[in-house]
């Protein structure tokens, strides 16, 4: 038994060591870096205390990056899950062609993020892109819309591109959950005369509640950390209108070689993500308690 | 046993004999920006071969890096202590590399070799001078921007191309040309250096400057703010989406005939020559009665401070900018003026006009923190293209730039 | 569950709409890639070029592209093999070992899935620089294995938990040690889980952008996503070529996915639905 124990530690060791060195240590390293200033002219880290935190907070873009990150994350998570769920419902109906369609719908998910972004960048091109051409020809807009260049429109546009790429993943998980729902319960509800909407609310949703929770937390984390789409589409522009934490960190760290400030943004991003997940857990917990009490 | 002993002795003697010769053979690491647009690297290889034939004791190893990553690679190499011996540096990097002590002072060598400002385009030469010392030799240049125009569209609107050379003329033409789904002028303002160089040239042409002699931000001075105000008005006649558009996007519109005027350096000519478009160009734009001042772009050759072979490296630089070599190794314009004249006559339409624009162009400021200066300027240009007050946008940029010092 | 004819028709129309939303951008990508490079773009955009040609593909398949492709292949496949191996070993112990620390360790694995890559990239970059690994395959493989490992362990753990214990127990009674049991019984039985995890890791690493962008710097070491982004270049975007490259980048991973889809769907949902 003791030997078994040693063996198991041995089997765990490579994974645990790697995660400790490459994930947990850098987590602490980011805090260390955020307390030190570097630049190209002075590459040797110099202790700066909390000066970089003060500098980042005093800079107007911080508030914007924070707000953008929240809008981006909530927007994508919400739309992606609603669309993913509705698609899963649709593809769970025993209609003709569903097998093929299920495979087709997954295509955007497999498409590399950079490719998806390059593709959407061209789709959104004000003059040459497909989006404006179709909308103009359909008479839905009168003039070309600068989807990515107008600071009021840019965030919504990158969200749409990200949702297009991401919703199949949510769909996949919802579909699997729907297929696990006990048919007899649905049939019982039908016998009671419940319509499709009632059946959805009374039977299906409660049955897949845990999956919804997992799905939302998963997309929340993935979206908050997603760099590719925004970087290729707008580099965080115009005027920082789409700068989120990952793009700002990359720009500051690897564009301007200010590792200290980039790490400070990194520490804030970890905190913000933790707050978002915690908030969701609280809301979710509250809902559970209400349900238990009811 | 005996035999192998003898062999060893023989080998040792041979090595000793070869020793001095080996010690003289020098291998230089040369890094260059990779130009994916053309077959240039082959031509450059031929030039390197030629150099090695002329200098059998020097071997050159070439590494090319794509532009978007080139700077980072060099910076990392400098910090890691494995910088090359010679490299091409974008003009705007010179200040930082010099201040960081990464590149060698070439003042004496250039003086001894008789390489002077007169032999090169002045603006390009100036971009290698930091605190009165010379840190590089100009390699190739180009100037932002020439205003390329679509002849058919201008004819149809009854516009004289020469009128594009003045602020008022350009604005009037752009307004007239913006009709029937066509766009007047290809302004762009994405997050990229091309946004800065075009904006700078309007500021320069109006008598403004980016930094003053002490390195303080000068964008709030009247000529600069006036130029920004002008750009904001001109933007009305540009295709929608300025803030995410690049010079490349404008090129597509120009090529498909929907854009009347685009802003590009002389490098654009080969592309236009290959197209079926009927085109012409004028040298930038300035207020009535003044000569347009373009913004220099281009590359300088520098020797790194850590190099063990500075003499050989210097020899290589002298070779690369020689009159009979310089034109063969660049796809921009040779920085050596004599080579440039021959190059332009052979490869570009209207070479005299281009030469005049090059002679008059100005370099971007040589701040050791140029990248951050440029970022602040991009934010400023985006502000004005988005319709914000030019004076306020300039003040905001100056706040950022002045805290950098 | 019979639906009225009208409802069925409505649902079919919705399906059509869904297919359109998903496929239109793909169709456009292929359409642009087939446009003759010399022909200017039309306004309004044309859905299909007049004389489709594969010229863009010929140009796009340049030596650099082949290098990037090879690099992506080396890095992705190495990562898949290492991650799946380490993940299975760890998952086995996580599900079979009677160790007091197990639940705490599982918690650490779950937590590690949440780490923002952009937030930890600077210390990792500095470590790689210190170890002289920047601009090598190893910098990417190490980073990719580390960031995919938590999810892989999680997926495989879900899988191993569902394996019937009886087989392993009877083998143990027959005197087989834990390693024998692992090799003879657990590994063959977990094949579907291994395939699912491998496909997941492949999809993630094939498209990884941030680490590859930051850790590699020469065209000899670039991977496809970063190489593709490099093609955008200093000032210009040549969309025809770019779309042709995009199609070529996407095809391999799509092909793999379609052959192994069944496993992947089962694997990814097992973790989320039952985990």
In eight-state DSSP terms, residue B216 is: -
Contact C227, C156 (CB under 8 A): no
Q: Are strands B86-90 and B295-303 parallel, antiparallel or unpaired?
A: antiparallel
Asked if residue B213 belongs to a domain, the reply is yes
Q: Does B328 reach chain C within 8 Å, measured CB to CB? A: no
Please list the rounded mean pLDDT of every run of 10 residues in chain A (294 residues).
78 94 94 88 82 90 95 96 94 83 90 93 92 92 90 95 95 88 83 82 85 88 93 91 95 86 95 89 77 68
pLDDT at C233: 62
Q: CB distance B34–C41 less than 8 Å? A: no
Same domain, B278 and B378: yes
Question: Residues near B235 by Cβ (< 8 Å), separated by ≥ 6?
Answer: B187, B242, B384, B385
Give CA–CA dist C209/A227, Å, rounded.
8
**What is the span of the domain harbouring residue C27?**
1-53
Whether the pLDDT of residue B51 is over 90: the answer is yes
Task: Indicate which of A15, A56, A191 best probes the interface with C, i.e. most C CBs within 10 Å of its own CB.
Answer: A15
Domain identity same for C217 and C117? yes
CB atoms within 10 A of CB C264: 24
Span of A20-34, A87-101, B230-244, C191-205 with lowest mean pLDDT: A87-101
Mark whether C32 and C71 lie in a shared domain: no
- As a whole number of Å, the end-to-end CA separation of chain B is 72
pLDDT score of B158: 95
The verdict on residue B160 lying in a domain is yes
- Tracing tokens 């709030």 back to the chain, one arrives at B220
Tokens of C173: 């009674």
- Residues C25, C71 share a domain: no
- Total number of domains constituting chain B: 2
Tokens (6 digits) for B192: 């990229």
B-C interface: how many C-beta pairs under 8 angstroms? 60
Smallest CA–CA distance from B70 into chain A, residue:
A255
How much is the pLDDT for A257?
A: 80
User: Is there a single domain that holds both residue B157 and residue B265?
Assistant: yes
Residue B360: closest CA among B163, B204, B195: B204
- Are the C-beta atoms of A237 and B190 separated by less than 8 Å? yes
DSSP lists the bridge partners of residue B147 as B263, B282
The CATH number that applies at residue C175 is: 1.10.3720.10
Domain membership of residue B9 (yes or no) is: no
pLDDT confidence bin for B7, thresholds 50/70/90: low
**Pairing between strand B146-150 and B279-282?**
antiparallel
Residues C25 and C120 in one domain: no
B286 and B313: one domain? no
Our CA-based measurement puts residue A14 at a distance from the nearest CA of chain B, in whole angstroms, of 30
Check residue B25 and give its pLDDT.
84
Determine the pLDDT at residue B18: 45
> B23: which 2 tokens?
């010690």
Beta-carbon count within 10 A of C47 CB: 12
Is B164 part of a structural domain of the chain? yes
Same domain, C108 and C165: yes
pLDDT level of residue C273 (50, 70, 90 thresholds): low
Contacts with C46 (C-beta within 8 Å, 6 or more apart), sequence order: C31
Q: Note whether residue B12 is domain-resident.
A: no
- Which tokens go with A277? 């997940």
How far CA C144 is from CA of A111, A251, C207, C224, in Å, comes to 18, 21, 11, 15
Mean pLDDT for B105-118 is: 94
My answer on whether C44 and C137 are in the same domain is no
Q: What is the CATH number of the domain that holds B169?
A: 3.40.190.10
The pLDDT assigned to A6 comes to 86
Q: What is the pTM of this model?
A: 0.88
Same domain, B285 and B209: yes
Residues listed for chain A: 294
Q: Could you tell me which residue, C237 or B293, shows the higher pLDDT?
A: B293
Cα nearest neighbour of C266 on chain A: A176
| Weakest mean pLDDT among B48-62, B68-82, B178-192, C26-40 | B68-82
| Mutation target vs B (from C234, C237, C238, C241; most B CBs, 10 A cutoff) | C234
Among all residues of chain A, which has the CA nearest to that of B80? A43
Place of tokens 């959805």: A200
Q: Which of residues 43-72 of A touch C (CB under 8 A)?
A: none
B132 & B160 share domain: no
Q: Are B317 and B278 members of one domain?
A: no
The 10s digit of each residue's pLDDT in B350-399 is: 999 999 999 999 999 988 889 889 999 999 999 999 999 999 999 999 99
Q: What confidence tens digit (pLDDT) does each residue in C133-151 have?
A: 988 999 999 999 999 999 9
Q: Interface of chain B against chain A, CB under 8 Å?
A: 72, 75, 79, 96, 99-100, 183, 189-191, 239-245, 249, 252-253, 256, 258, 368-369, 371-372, 375, 379, 382-383, 386
Segment C94-138, tens digit of pLDDT: 988 878 888 899 889 988 988 889 999 999 998 998 898 988 999
Neighbours of B91 (CB within 10 A): 25
Average pLDDT, chain C: 87
- Assess whether B256 and B112 both reside in one domain: no
**Does the beta-carbon distance from C22 to A211 stay under 8 Å?**
no
Q: How confident is the model at residue B185 (pLDDT cuts 50, 70, 90)?
A: very high
Q: Indicate if the pLDDT at residue B218 is higher than 60.
A: yes
Measure CB to CB from residue A235 to each of B191, B240, B372 and give the nearest one.
B191
Q: In terms of domains, do B153 and B302 share one?
A: no
Same domain flag for C68 and C49: no
Helices (runs of H) and strands (runs of E) counted in chain B: 18, 12
Residue with the bigger pLDDT between B212 and A41: it is: B212
Report DSSP letters for B222-258, one per residue: HHHHHHHHHHHHHGGGSPS-GGG--HHHHHHHHHTT-
Please check whether residues C202 and C111 belong to one and the same domain: yes
What would you report as the CA-atom Rg of chain A, rounded to the nearest whole angstrom?
A: 23
- Is residue B13 scored above 50 in pLDDT? no
DSSP string, chain A: -HHHHHHHHHHHHHHHHHHIIIIIHHHHHHHHHHTEE--SSS-S-EE-TTHHHHHHHHSHHHHHHHHHHHHHHHHHHHHHHHHHHHHHHHTTS--TTHHHHHHHHTHHHHS-HHHHHHHHHHHT-TTT-HHHHHHHHTTS-SS---TTTSTTTHHHHHHHHHHHHHHHHHHHHHHHHHHHS-HHHHHHHHHTT--HHHHIIIIIHHHTHHHHHHHHHHHHHHHHT--HHHHHHTTT-STTTT--HHHHHHIIIIIS--HHHHHHHHHHHHHHHHHHHHHHHHHHHHHHHHHHH-
Number of alpha carbons in the 13 Å side-chain half-sphere of residue A289: 6
Q: Is residue B41 over pLDDT 70?
A: no
Cβ distance of C234 and B249 shorter than 8 Å: no
The full set of domains in chain A, from first to last, is 35-293 (1.10.3720.10)
For residue B221, what are the domain limits?
146-293+369-403
| A-proximal residues of C, 42-81, CB under 8 Å | 43-45, 47
> What are the distances in angstroms from CA A201 to CA A91, A205, A207, A294?
18, 6, 10, 16
Residues of B in contact with C231 (CB under 8 A): 36
Q: Which of residues 257-316 of B touch C (CB under 8 A)?
A: 257-258, 274-275
In a domain, B337, yes or no: yes
Dihedral sign of CA atoms B1, B6, B12, B18 in order: negative
Of A34 and B14, more confident: A34
Check: CB of residue C150 under 8 Å from CB of residue C110: yes
Cα nearest neighbour of C125 on chain B: B76
Low-confidence winner among A117-126, B273-282, C42-51 (lowest mean pLDDT): C42-51
In whole angstroms, what is the distance from residue B91 CA to residue B124 CA?
8
| C217 in contact with B, Cβ within 8 Å | yes
B270-to-A104, A196, B43 alpha-carbon distances in Å:
43, 65, 17
- Structure confidence at residue B19 (pLDDT): 43
Min Cα distance C121 → chain A (Å) is: 8
Whether A284 and chain B come into contact, CB under 8 Å, resolves to: no
Q: pLDDT band at residue C46, thresholds of 50, 70 and 90?
A: confident
Can you tell me which residue has the tokens 């694997």? C267
Write down which chains contact chain C via at least 3 CB pairs under 8 A. Answer: A, B
CA atoms within 13 A on the CB side of C49: 21
The ipTM (two decimal places) reads 0.89
Q: Is residue B381 part of a domain?
A: yes
Same domain as C31, residue C126? no
Q: Give kind and range of the element (H or E) at residue B80.
A: helix B67-80
CB contact under 8 A, A246 and C117: yes
Same domain, B33 and B153: no
Residue from B259, B273, B268 nearest B150 by CA: B259
Say which range, A171-180, B156-165, B178-187, has the weakest mean pLDDT.
Answer: A171-180
B300: its two tokens: 């300088």
For residues C4 and C81, state if they share a domain.
no
Nearest in space to A190 (alpha carbons), one of A178, A181, A203: A203
Residues C78 and C187 reside in one and the same domain: yes
Pair (B288, B200) in one structural domain: yes
Do B285 and B202 touch, CB atoms closer than 8 A?
Answer: yes
| 3-state SS string for A45-65 | CEECCCHHHHHHHHCHHHHHH
Mean pLDDT of B219-228: 97
- Model confidence at C66, pLDDT cuts 50, 70, 90, reads very high
Return the HEC string of chain C. CCCCHHHHHHHHHHHHHHHHHHHHHHHHHHHHHCCCCCCCCCCCCCCCCCCCCCHHHHHHCCHHHHHHHHHHHHHHHHHHHHHHHHHHHHHHHHHHCCCCCHHHHHHHHHHHCCCCHHHHHHHHHHHHHHCCCCCCHHHHHHHHHHHHHHHHHHHHHHHHHHCCHHHHHHHHHCCCCHHHHHHHHHHHHCHHHHHHHHHHHHHHHHHCCHHHHHHCCCCCCCCHHHHHHHHCCCCCCCHHHHHHHHHHHHHHHHHHHHHHHHHHHHHHHHHHHHC
CB proximity C41 to B under 8 Å: yes
- Quickly count: other Cβ atoms within 10 Å of residue B14's Cβ: 10
Q: Would you call B105 helix, strand, or coil by DSSP?
A: coil
Q: Which of B115-119, C94-98, C269-273 has the highest mean pLDDT?
A: B115-119
Q: Count how many domains chain C has.
A: 2
- Which residues from chain A sit within 8 angstroms of residue B191, using beta carbons? 235-237
d(CA A137, CA C143): 47
- Residues C25 and C69 placed together within one structural domain of the fold: no
Residues of A in contact with C206 (CB under 8 A): 112
A204 close contact with C: CB closer than 8 A: no
Alpha-carbon dihedral A263, A264, A267, A269, rounded to 10 degrees? -100
Task: Kindly state whether residue B157 falls inside one of the protein's structural domains.
Answer: yes
* DSSP per-residue letters across B33-77: EE-TTSSHHHHHHHHHHHHHHH-TTEEEEEEEEEHHHHHHHHHHH
Phi, psi for residue B183 in degrees, rounded to 5? -115, 145
C143 to chain A, closest Cα gap in Å: 7
Rounded Cα–Cα distance for residues A80 and A171 (Å):
9
Question: Which DSSP category does B198 fall into?
Answer: H
Spatial strand order of the sheet with B86-90 comes to B58-66, B26-34, B86-90, B295-303, B137-144, B333-334
B190 touching C (Cβ < 8 Å): no
């Amino acid at each position: 038994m003791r030997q078994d124990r040693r063996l198991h530690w041995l089997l765990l060791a490579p994974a645990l060591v790697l995660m400790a060195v490459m994930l947990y240590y850098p987590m602490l390293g980011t805090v260390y870096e955020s307390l030190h200033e570097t630049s190209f002219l002075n590459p040797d880290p110099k202790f700066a205390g909390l000066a970089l935190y003060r500098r980042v907070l005093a800079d107007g873009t911080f508030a914007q990056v924070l707000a953008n990150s929240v809008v981006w994350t909530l927007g994508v998570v919400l739309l992606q899950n609603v669309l993913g769920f509705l698609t899963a419902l649709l593809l769970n109906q025993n209609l003709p062609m569903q097998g093929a369609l299920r495979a087709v719908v997954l295509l955007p998910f497999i498409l590399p993020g950079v490719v998806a972004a390059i593709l959407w960048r061209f789709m959104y091109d004000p003059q040459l892109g497909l989006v404006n051409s179709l909308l103009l020809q359909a008479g839905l807009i009168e003039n070309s819309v600068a989807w990515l260049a107008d600071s009021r429109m840019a965030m919504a546009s990158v969200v749409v591109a990200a949702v297009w790429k991401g919703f199949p993943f949510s769909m996949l998980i919802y579909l699997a959950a729907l297929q696990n729902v006990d048919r007899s319960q649905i049939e019982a509800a039908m016998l009671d005369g419940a319509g499709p909407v009632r059946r959805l609310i009374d039977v299906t949703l409660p049955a897949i509640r845990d999956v919804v929770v997992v799905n939302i937390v998963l997309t929340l984390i993935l979206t908050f950390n997603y760099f590719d789409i925004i970087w290729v589409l707008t580099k965080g522009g115009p005027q920082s209108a789409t700068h989120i934490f990952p793009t700002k960190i990359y720009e500051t760290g690897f564009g301007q070689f200010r590792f200290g400030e980039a790490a400070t943004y990194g520490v804030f991003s970890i905190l913000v993500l933790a707050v978002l997940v915690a908030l969701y857990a609280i809301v979710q917990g509250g809902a559970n308690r209400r349900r238990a009490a009811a | 046993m005996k035999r192998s002993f003898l062999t060893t002795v023989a080998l040792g003697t041979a090595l000793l004999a070869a020793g001095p010769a080996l010690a003289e053979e020098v291998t230089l690491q040369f890094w260059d920006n990779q130009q994916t647009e053309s077959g240039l690297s082959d031509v450059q290889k031929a030039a390197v071969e030629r150099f090695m034939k002329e200098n059998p004791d020097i071997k050159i190893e070439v590494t090319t890096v794509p532009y978007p990553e080139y700077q980072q690679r060099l910076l990392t190499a400098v910090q890691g202590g494995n910088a090359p011996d010679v490299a091409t540096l974008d003009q705007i990097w010179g200040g930082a590399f010099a201040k960081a002590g990464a590149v060698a002072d070439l003042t004496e060598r250039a003086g001894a070799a008789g390489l002077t400002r007169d032999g090169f385009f002045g603006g390009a030469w100036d971009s290698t001078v930091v605190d009165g010392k010379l840190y590089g030799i100009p390699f190739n240049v180009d100037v932002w921007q020439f205003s390329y125009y679509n002849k058919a569209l201008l004819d149809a609107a009854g516009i004289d191309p020469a009128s594009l050379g003045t602020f008022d003329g350009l604005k009037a033409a752009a307004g007239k040309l913006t009709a029937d789904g066509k766009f007047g002028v290809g302004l762009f303002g994405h997050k990229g250096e091309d946004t800065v160089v075009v904006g700078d040239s309007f500021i320069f042409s109006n008598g403004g400057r980016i930094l003053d002699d002490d390195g303080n931000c000068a964008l709030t001075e009247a000529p600069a703010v006036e130029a920004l105000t002008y750009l904001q008005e001109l933007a009305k006649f540009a295709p929608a989406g300025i803030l995410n558009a690049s010079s490349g996007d404008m090129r597509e519109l120009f090529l498909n005939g929907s854009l009347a005027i685009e802003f590009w350096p002389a490098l654009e000519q080969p592309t236009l020559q290959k197209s079926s478009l009927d085109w012409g160009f004028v040298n930038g734009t300035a207020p009535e009665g003044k000569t347009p001042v373009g913004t220099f772009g281009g590359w300088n050759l520098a020797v790194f401070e850590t190099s063990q072979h500075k003499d050989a490296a210097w020899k290589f630089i002298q070779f690369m900018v020689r009159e009979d070599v310089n034109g063969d190794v660049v796809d921009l314009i040779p920085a050596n003026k004599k080579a440039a004249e021959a190059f332009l006559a052979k490869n570009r339409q209207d070479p005299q006009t281009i030469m005049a624009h090059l002679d008059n162009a100005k370099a971007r400021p040589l701040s050791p923190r140029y990248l951050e200066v440029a970022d602040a300027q991009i934010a400023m240009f985006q502000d004005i293209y988005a319709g914000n007050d030019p004076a306020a946008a300039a003040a905001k940029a100056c706040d950022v730039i002045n805290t950098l010092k | 569950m019979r639906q009225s004819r009208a409802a069925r028709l409505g649902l079919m129309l919705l399906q059509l709409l869904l297919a359109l939303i998903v496929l239109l951008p793909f169709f456009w990508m292929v359409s642009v890639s087939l446009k003759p490079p010399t022909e200017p773009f039309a306004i309004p955009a044309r859905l299909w070029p007049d004389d489709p040609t594969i010229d863009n593909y010929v140009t796009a398949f340049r030596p650099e592209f082949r290098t990037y492709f090879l690099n992506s292949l080396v890095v992705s496949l190495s990562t898949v093999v290492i991650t799946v191996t380490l993940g299975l070993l760890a998952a086995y112990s996580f599900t079979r070992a009677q160790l007091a620390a197990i639940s705490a360790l599982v918690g650490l694995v779950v937590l590690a899935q949440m780490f923002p890559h952009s937030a930890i990239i600077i210390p990792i970059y500095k470590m790689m620089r210190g170890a002289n690994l920047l601009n090598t395959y190893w910098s990417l493989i190490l980073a990719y294995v580390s960031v995919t490992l938590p999810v892989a362990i999680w997926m495989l753990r879900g899988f191993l938990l569902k394996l019937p214990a009886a087989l392993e127990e009877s083998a143990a009674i027959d005197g087989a040690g834990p390693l024998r049991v692992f090799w003879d019984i657990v590994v063959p039985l977990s094949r579907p889980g291994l395939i699912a995890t491998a496909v997941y890791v492949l999809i993630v690493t094939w498209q990884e952008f941030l680490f590859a962008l930051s850790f590699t710097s020469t065209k000899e070491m670039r991977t496809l996503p970063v190489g593709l982004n490099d093609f955008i270049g200093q000032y210009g975007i040549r969309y025809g070529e770019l779309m042709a490259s995009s199609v070529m980048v996407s095809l391999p991973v799509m092909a793999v996915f379609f052959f192994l889809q069944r496993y992947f769907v089962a694997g990814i949902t097992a973790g989320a639905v039952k985990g």
